[in-house]
Copies of this chain bind each other. A is one copy, B any other.
């Protein structure tokens, strides 16, 4: 197979690809809007029809307690070939505020190379490049079936929290058995600096209530002689980080997979402009965080504790000199592999109990089980193979990033017990989840090209 054959096939298929994508994009599959349930289903049906037309021998609609997913399978010729699940989602974000869109979000418009509309980048455009890439790979190699068994799983609830996805994975675990999961729902560093995601931070949250007197006390009569829950809360939250910006909860870092020298070196090669980043960070005046790590390492690869909200006592206008009965705080922990949300929750609860002064009662409420982090080590065979495919398509070195998010990704890794490989061509600038979402069509075609090379690279690497 010649590179030129794949490229030629993709160039020839460009108009058909764009026409198909535009047709799909007109379906407003907003999973978060109960009034759009029929549209989400239409979107699933459209994809199922498309996949059949593209030659997938098996295409099924998988029902869930919420919106349907689409499953398609194309077995390798070689029964010993590896199996790869490809994950994406066919639902989209809401479009409010509508008046900030320059075009109708569900009537996609081409402006030069740019395609504007809800779902162009997240995630319909990135699912569709796989079918074009797969067909380009088959055409260029003259094969009738891909070099690995492909199991395409496209869920319909990602933008509303993947509420039934773990359930679906558990129910379909046998059918989804695989050697790796390719995820196409992330971004690259930039159009000029292609990159692959290597992990997503997880999350666990806690709400702390500290109780002192049974009612607000007049501070003139009692102030300075009884414990003030606001003082206790300030002490507690101040003690959550040490002078090096490290979280002080015992065991917090125990399960953290450390950054490798190679990953740190590759992160450092990204053209990161800290001043520009601070501007995007709400004009933050200084970077600040765990000592010994760069800003990118802090936001990508290090766990954090962040106070998201804090309140208690008199918060209205004017003064009210009280010792309040209660103080509250909401705290979230960003987790990295291989931290376990429930272990962190338990460690935090014990820490709070030990740090509350006499006379103050503490309650820690944990809403839900949290989100596990996910991780795709850059030295795995699968990631190295996918990186080669990306580099062949983009003709340049592919670097690595990490991202926020995580949710279905961690479920895929954990329930299917397979390594994750992130292959995607979105950009932060695509305005996903915002008005005027768009994508550059040539970028999607690069994605198709990478997908064309991906299966043969993985066929060798995963064998």
Contact = CB atoms under 8 A, between A and B. Distances in A.
A364 interface: no
Contacts of A283: 213-214
Interface in A192-246: 201, 203, 205, 212-228, 230-231, 233-241
Interface in A378-400: none
A332 interface: yes
A215 B228 CA distance: 30
A282 interface: yes
A323 B299 CA distance: 13
Contacts of A308: 219, 230, 313-314, 319-324
A4 B319 CA distance: 51
Nearest to A220: B404
A418 interface: no
Contact of A404 (B221, B236, B312, B329): B221
A302 B239 CA distance: 27
Contact of A238 (B212, B239, B284): B239
A283 B226 CA distance: 10
Contacts of A287: 225-226, 359
A55 interface: no
A404 B227 CA distance: 19
Given A318-B367, A359-B288, A224 B306 contact: yes
Interface in A293-316: 295, 298-299, 302-304, 306-315
A135 interface: no
A328 interface: yes
A223 B334 contact: yes
B284 A223 contact: no
A358 B310 contact: no
Given A231-B307, A287-B225, A324-B308, A218 B357 contact: no
A319 B332 contact: yes
A311 B315 contact: yes
A188 interface: no
B304 A223 contact: yes
A220 B302 CA distance: 12
A230 B359 contact: no
A288 B226 contact: yes
A245 to B, nearest CB: 8
A287 B225 CA distance: 6
A363 to B, nearest CB: 14
Nearest to A211: B285
Contacts of A452: none
Nearest to A222: B281
Contact of A307 (B234, B237, B240): B234
A361 interface: yes
B231 A237 contact: yes
A323 B330 CA distance: 11
A60 interface: no
Contacts of A302: 224
Contacts of A203: 220, 321
14 contacts: A218-B404, A219-B306, A219-B308, A222-B299, A223-B306, A224-B303, A227-B285, A231-B237, A234-B240, A237-B238, A238-B239, A308-B323, A310-B311, A310-B327
Q: Which 7 residue pairs are nearest across A and B when measured between Cβ atoms?
A: A213-B282, A286-B359, A224-B304, A220-B404, A234-B237, A238-B238, A309-B313
Given A212-B285, A226-B288, 7 more contacts: A213-B283, A214-B283, A215-B282, A220-B404, A222-B299, A224-B304, A310-B311
